[in-house]
Amino acid sequence: MTPSDQVSRTKPARILIVDDDRGMCQLLTDLLREDGYEVEVAHDGASAIAKHQALPFDLTITDLMMPRMKGVELVARLREIDGGAVVLLITAFGTIESAVEAMRAGAFHYVTKPFHNDEILIQVKRALEQKTLRDELRRLRTEVHARTRFQNIVGQSQAMQRVFEIIAQVSDLPANVLIEGESGTGKELIARAIHFNSSRAAGPFVPVNCAAIPETLLESELFGYVRGAFTDARKDRRGLFQEASGGILFLDEISEIPLTLQAKLLRILEDKEVRPLGANQGEKVDARVVSASNRNLETLVRDGKFRQDLYYRLNVIRIELPTLRQRSEDIPLLVDHFVRKFAESAKHTVEGIQADALAALKSHDWPGNIRELEHTIERAVLLGKGAMIGLEDLPAQFAARGECELVVGQAVARQLTLRDLEREYIGRVLESSHGNKTEAARILGVDRTTLYRKLEEYKFKD
Ligand SMILES: Nc1ncnc2c1ncn2[C@@H]1O[C@H](COP(=O)(O)OP(=O)(O)OP(=O)(O)O)[C@@H](O)[C@H]1O
Ligand SMILES: [Mg+2]
């Protein structure tokens, strides 16, 4: 492990301050030491780099305008020698353009002078969160590399590791597989992985969405027909079952197969023989069936909507995919995976996600599971502007939640009482609505009577 990987919550974070202005260095040193950080100082870029090389810092805070090496160059050099380095800039008003340039070179954020002490502390906290995230991701990436046999399937959680084990065990068995899981949990991806890892990999993988094909057509699609079997049957046609011979037939949304067809399917699975519509004779087929359902088949069996004997046939091996909420620890890796997948199509460089945006994603419910996450990241990558996806690049509901977390995090760090927090918040909202109580009550989400009572309680002046 390199020293920069040692970001642990038990040890205070190490911060390097770089500024030729000694007064500013002293001010920042005092402020950060008081907040419990370990601080060192360098007065120019060259010695900053030397110090970082000797023992990497968790965060570097640098002034932008310095003689000799400018802040922008320092950012670029630091990131060159340590890809995990996180740099916060302090810039004087009027140098915003160079700050933007430095952000492009990989700086995390900038704070303009003169600043509020709280502002620096909040940004330092965010930057350190970013650092932890980067290191964590780096660690996970190397582990993933060593541990997954299935290239496109991301998942470090125990639940997914279990799924990987099952795939490895069963891929090459002749038995049918049933994959159950909510919509968007990756059922088709898993079915393809089974195919890819089986001795049938060179054979076809034929997906059929049983819900998308009208009931009247499903039978002829699956089993084929001979010429003259019905009015429109002008020539023979092979069914998908026959197409899948030597490979895998993937019956997606199997619960939607009507009961009459279920009986026929069962017979085919038992006899390994398909008889096309209108044919006198059956033909041998050798297709392994992998089926998938987002409805619980056992319940459907109990309710008489799915044949029990067919269920047993399909369910020789069962894989139950976890929902994304059950494995939210996989979200950082999945986000990383999707960022890389879509970054190529973006017009600007996209490297990753900010810690607060990731926290907001982690606390979401994800009813659409991984597919929903994938779309969210695709949109953020393509429509966002910065190198790091921020809360502003996510749908509005995330931004509100993430900001709330940031604010509450600060309150917790300061150990504010509920009363202090409420009083302060009501005061600020009232200020921002210029004393308009109806407006303030609306923002606070309380009725006017409640607001008046609170104002009385906290003795706000009118
Ligand atoms: N573990 C995973 N790692 C990476 N990508 C994943 C993972 N699981 C799913 N995906 C991606 O999420 C999307 C949805 O997956 P898939 O189509 O397999 O889900 P599904 O369970 O079949 O959904 P539905 O029930 O709606 O058909 C796909 O783009 C897939 O590549
Ligand atoms: Mg699917």
For ligand 1, atom 9: residue with the closest CA = 186
CA of 324 to the centre of ligand 1 (A): 11
Residue 153 CA, closest ligand 1 atom number: 3
For ligand 1, atom 10: residue with the closest CA = 186
Task: Categorize the per-residue pLDDT at 146 as very low, low, confident or very high, splitting at 50, 70 and 90.
Answer: very low
Residue ranges of the alpha helices (H) in 10-116? 22-34, 45-54, 71-81, 96-104
For ligand 1, atom 12: residue with the closest CA = 371
* Rounded-to-integer distance, Cα 353 and Cα 288, Å: 42
CB contact set of 247 (below 8 Å; sequence gap of 6+): 195, 200, 203, 204, 205, 206, 287, 288
Among residues 144, 102, 27, the alpha carbon closest in space to that of 41 is found at 27
CB atoms within 10 A of CB 56: 20
Task: Categorize the per-residue pLDDT at 62 as very low, low, confident or very high, splitting at 50, 70 and 90.
Answer: very high
Once rounded to an integer, what is the mean pLDDT over residues 343-362? 89
User: Residue 133's pLDDT is what?
Assistant: 85
pLDDT tens-digit map of 323-346 = 999 999 999 999 999 999 999 888
Nearest ligand atom owner, CA of 368: 1
For ligand 1, atom 30: residue with the closest CA = 186
H/E element holding 113? strand 109-113
Residue 292 CA, closest ligand 1 atom number: 22
pLDDT for residue 284 is more than 90: yes
Mean pLDDT of the chain: 88
Residues having CB within 6 Å of any atom of ligand 1: 152-155, 181, 183-189, 294, 337, 370-371, 374
Once rounded to an integer, what is the mean pLDDT over residues 394-399? 84
DSSP label of 55: S
162: number of CA atoms within 13 Å, CB side? 9
Q: Where are the beta strands (DSSP E) in 203-326?
A: 205-209, 224-225, 237-238, 248-252, 273-274, 283-284, 288-293, 317-320
Q: Is the dihedral of CA 261, 267, 272, 277 positive or negative?
A: negative
Tokens at residue 402, please? 């993430």
**DSSP letters for 131-179:** HHHHHHHHHHHHHHHHH-S-TT----SHHHHHHHHHHHHHTTSSS-EEE
287: number of CA atoms within 13 Å, CB side? 29
For ligand 1, atom 16: residue with the closest CA = 186
pLDDT for residue 379 is more than 80: yes
pLDDT tens-digit map of 183-221 = 999 999 999 999 988 889 888 999 999 999 888 889 999
Using N-to-C axis directions, what is the helix angle for 215-223 and 259-271, rounded to 10°? 10
Residue to probe by mutation, ligand 1, list 149, 177, 189, 251, most atoms within 8 Å of CB: 189
CA of 370 to the centre of ligand 1 (A): 6
**DSSP letters for 299-342:** HHHHTTSS-HHHHHHHTTEEEEPPPSGGGGGGHHHHHHHHHHHH
Tally the residues of the chain.
Answer: 462
- Phi, psi of 186, deg, nearest 5: 105, 25
